[in-house]
Amino acid sequence: MSSSTSPTQSSPIKNVALVGANGSLGSVILRALLESNRFHVSILRRLSSTSSLPPDLEANPALSILTVSDAWEEDELAEALKGQDAVIAAFPVRRVEEHIALANAAYKSETVRRFIPADFGSVDARSPLARSLLPLFERKVVIRKRLEDLAARSVSDGNRQEFSWTSLVNGHFFDWGLTNGFLHFYPGEKRAEILGSGNERSSTTTLGKVTEAVIRILHDRLEESRNRVLMIQSFCVSQLDVLASVDRVTGQKWKVSYEDTERFIARHKALADGGDKESIEDLVFALGVVDGNWETKEDLAMGLLGLEEEDLDTEVRKALGRN
């Protein structure tokens, strides 16, 4: 197919390769893709992987496994990806080379038309503050730039279908972060740690809403989402909004402590620079609080994707098992 006829307009995405299917996000993306009954999903994993599938998915006829060597070599990856229409990277951005190799391989496959990178996260990688605090966001920018270059190349490559990408930026994962302490709410202790005044509003998204956005990108809004950064949110709320919600849902007043934002960031920046993983997560948390309000951004894409926001109390109730 020549580049004069855009396959994003002429044919739907059917075959999707997912990398990172056992992670907190990847596992829910996998289930959502299969339950939509719109895709055949191939899990791409290394030979040494010991991960297993949930028993109820093992015999799903719309699911297969693609195994590659631990070398993660571009040509082998490209061969494995032949026949795939889209690739979703849902594994951590620790080594940028792994993600660049996957992007290059997707392009070399000649069949992959849409690439969704591991850009899911608490803050937009373009943020100067984020890039100054953590190398993670600089790595994400490098990956995004590579995808931009590959998309531009495909336009002039008459031997290849059009290659495109979509970065989905969702703020903090709300339900995941509320229950495991990432958001500095601790359900087991009925305790919350508030950064700054607690009044700054930031965008946050449930895992379910993220998967809904992924399906909209691949199925309903393929052309509208091509070569774009899209921001989504379940709601844009302050820490004090969340505190009031957990008080209502649990019927108890939670204990609250406050910490100065600048001191918090300075302390955890020093620890993160020394390799402390918990402090890296704490910096990501802080960035989401101070630099994560998508309602001020032109890339907010709830309308473009046809998504509706969610109700805070309802999602708190679900997350805390109060249904």
Instruction: Please report the DSSP string for 92-161 in residue order.
Output: --S-HHHHHHHHHHHHHTS---EEE-S--SSS-TT-HHHHHH-HHHHHHHHHHHHHHHHHHHHHH-TTS-
- CA angle in degrees (0–180, nearest 5) for 294-295-299: 60
Domains assigned to the chain: 13-169+206-231 (3.40.50.720), 172-205+234-295+308-319 (3.90.25.10)
Helix (H) or strand (E) holding 268: helix 261-273
Q: Which residues pair with 238 in a beta bridge?
A: 201
Q: At what angle do helices 239-250 and 312-319 cross, to 10 degrees?
A: 60
pLDDT (tens digit per residue) in 136-190: 999 999 999 999 999 999 998 877 789 999 999 999 999 999 999 999 999 999 9
Looking up tokens 């890039």, which residue turns up? 131
Q: What are phi and psi of 123, to 5 degrees?
A: -150, 155
- pLDDT attached to residue 10: 57
pTM for the predicted model, two decimal places: 0.94
- pLDDT attached to residue 161: 85
Show the tokens assigned to 118: 């591991």
Amino acid identity of residue 71, one-letter, is A
Looking up tokens 């302050």, which residue turns up? 238
Q: Which residues pair with 294 in a beta bridge?
A: none
Contacts of residue 292, Cβ cutoff 8 Å, sequence gap at least 6: 122, 123, 171, 172, 202, 203, 204
Show the tokens assigned to 169: 């930026």
- Tens place of pLDDT per residue across the chain (323 aa): 333 444 444 589 999 999 999 999 999 999 999 999 999 999 999 999 998 999 999 899 999 999 999 999 999 999 999 999 999 999 999 999 999 999 999 999 999 999 999 999 889 999 999 999 999 999 999 999 999 999 999 998 877 789 999 999 999 999 999 999 999 999 999 999 999 999 999 999 999 999 999 999 999 999 999 999 999 999 999 999 999 999 999 999 999 999 999 999 999 999 999 999 999 999 999 999 999 999 999 999 999 999 999 999 999 999 999 75
- pLDDT attached to residue 86: 99
What number of other Cβ atoms are within 10 A of residue 114's Cβ?
A: 25
- pLDDT attached to residue 85: 98
pLDDT (tens digit per residue) in 176-215: 999 999 999 999 999 999 999 999 999 999 999 999 999 9
Identify which of 76, 69, 62 has the alpha carbon closest to the alpha carbon of residue 18.
62
- CA angle in degrees (0–180, nearest 5) for 187-316-180: 40
